Amino acid sequence: MFMLTLSAMIILMITIILIVLLNMTSKKTIMDREKSSPFECGFDPKSSSRLPFSMHFFLIAIIFLIFDVEITLLFPLIMTMKYNSMAIYATVMITFILILLLGLLHEWKQGALNWTN
């Protein structure tokens, strides 16, 4: 136990020393307004350098990712079907799909799936 604690302390000290050393010797030490602004032939930019972003599209993408990950969680249930009794398998599968459908219904009622807002 003592060796584990000692090893962790040595690793922590080396990490802290490296972080401090690298921050002190880094090239980018001064934040300059001209260097951090977008380059446009030496003139001030005429428009914003950032593109407009649709927050609604971002929310739809997050909802898709959440449901996509939950669908991938269903695949191991198919593989364990031969090891469980059919009653337990059906209960777990129906509960999982019911939770997915309730989440989808909640998002639908909140209007997150309406693209024309």
Per residue in 64-108, pLDDT (tens digit) is 888 888 888 888 887 887 787 888 888 888 998 898 889 889 988
Burial class (CB in 10 A: 0-12, 13-18, 19+), 96: middle
Number of helices (H) and strands (E), helices first, in the chain? Answer: 5, 0
pLDDT at 16: 96
pLDDT at 68: 85
- What is the value of pTM for the model shown? 0.46
Band the pLDDT of 18: cuts 50, 70, 90: very high
Q: Degrees (nearest 5) of the Cα angle 52, 55, 57?
A: 100
Band the pLDDT of 37: cuts 50, 70, 90: low
d(CA 63, CA 32): 39
In the chain, domain spans: 55-110
